[in-house]
């Protein structure tokens, strides 16, 4: 009797895995870790995504196209990496955990081989590195997108490194702690320094709230998927440095009146100059820093001029 032909393996993926979205769940992740002699490392705040529907929603939001370059930070077990490769993306993944890197090299060996042959469709470049010590420009060439399930304790420095790089992603799809996601997408009234920084660089929105039960092991907090596109027309050089110096000064006392805060926190800038700049851009001097929009901070930076002048 003729044997049934094996189903073709999707581009970039080396075998059907229990971590595929159709089979994924907390028990599947626990069993996979046991079977492959892997363990979570608390020092890296590792929690692996264990909900196939959430994985599918992240991939849908990211919208990877065949051959499109995608930077993935913290691929872990490759739970998101696999579907990105299936979609034909050219993935560059940065992982700090040496054991996970070794495992990913085995799991995605065919995709790694495609990258070695300089093929882009369904290819994987895998780097064992700390993203906080890695120059983005040396890792991936533009244009590219960013996809990441970020460890909560390094969310802010990673956002600063990636968005502040000379070569920024065009689109970003991130799993973040829900509190951080709500903060960076907050409208004026609930702004923070991180809100201004992220919204200056990108238009972002929350596309899905993710319960703690969607991870293994479960974190103590809810998460959220954030998606956005980077903005054009950022400031350059000294002008951008001056903007962040101004915003940082303002948020040292974000619940105080803006004219008092800036006069106290900006050495060499007196109250009269602050009041004049606020009047010039139509910002009430009695407002609080957390109520200013990104556009108002930009206008105020222009009105104040060089802060050392």
pLDDT, one tens digit per residue, over 170-214 is 999 999 999 999 999 999 999 999 999 999 999 999 999 999 999
Q: Are 83 and 61 in contact (CB under 8 A)?
A: no
Q: Which two tokens stand for residue 107?
A: 């799991």
Task: Say how far apart CA 41 and CA 97 lie, in whole Å.
Answer: 8
Provide the 3-class DSSP secondary structure of residue 85.
helix
Spell out the residues 6+ positions from residue 47 whose beta carbon is closer than 8 angstroms to its own.
Answer: 40, 215, 216, 217, 218, 219
Q: Is 169 exposed, middle or buried (0-12, 13-18, 19+ CB in 10 A)?
A: buried
Please name which of 196, 195, 171 lies closest in space to residue 62, comparing C-alpha atoms: 171
Domains assigned to the chain: 26-230 (3.40.50.150), 237-304 (1.10.8.100)
Tallying the residues shown for the chain, one arrives at 309
Strands 145-149 and 123-128: unpaired
Tens-place pLDDT, residues 54-81: 999 999 999 999 999 999 999 999 999 9
Tens-place pLDDT, residues 100-128: 999 999 999 999 999 999 999 999 999 99
């Amino acid at each position: 009797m003729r044997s049934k032909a094996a189903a073709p393996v999707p581009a970039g993926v080396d075998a059907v895995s229990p971590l595929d979205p159709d089979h994924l769940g907390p028990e599947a992740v626990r069993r996979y870790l046991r079977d492959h002699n892997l363990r979570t490392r608390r020092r890296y705040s590792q929690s692996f995504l264990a909900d196939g529907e959430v994985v599918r929603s992240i991939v849908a939001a990211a919208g990877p196209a065949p051959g499109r370059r995608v930077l993935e930070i913290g691929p872990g077990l490759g739970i998101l990496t696999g579907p990105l490769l299936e979609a034909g993306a050219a993935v560059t993944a940065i992982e700090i955990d040496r054991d996970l890197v070794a495992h990913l090299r085995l799991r995605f060996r065919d995709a790694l081989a495609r990258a070695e042959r300089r093929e882009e469709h369904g290819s994987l470049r895998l780097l064992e590195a700390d993203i906080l010590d890695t120059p983005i420009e040396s890792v991936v060439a533009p244009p590219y997108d960013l996809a990441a399930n970020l460890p909560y304790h390094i969310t802010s420095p990673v956002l600063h490194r990636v968005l502040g790089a000379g070569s920024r992603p065009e689109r970003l799809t991130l799993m973040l702690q829900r509190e951080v996601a709500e903060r960076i997408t907050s409208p004026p009234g609930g702004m923070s320094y991180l809100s201004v920084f992220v919204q200056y660089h990108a238009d972002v929105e929350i596309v899905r709230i993710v319960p703690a039960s969607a991870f293994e092991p479960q974190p103590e907090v809810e998460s959220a998927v954030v998606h956005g596109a980077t903005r054009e027309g950022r400031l350059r050089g000294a002008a951008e440095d001056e903007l962040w110096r101004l915003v940082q000064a303002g948020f040292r006392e974000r619940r105080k009146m803006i004219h008092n805060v800036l006069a106290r926190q900006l050495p060499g800038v007196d109250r009269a100059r602050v009041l004049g700049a606020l009047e010039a851009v139509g910002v009430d001097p009695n407002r609080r820093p957390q109520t200013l929009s990104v556009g108002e901070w930009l206008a105020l930076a222009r009105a104040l001029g060089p802060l050392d002048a």
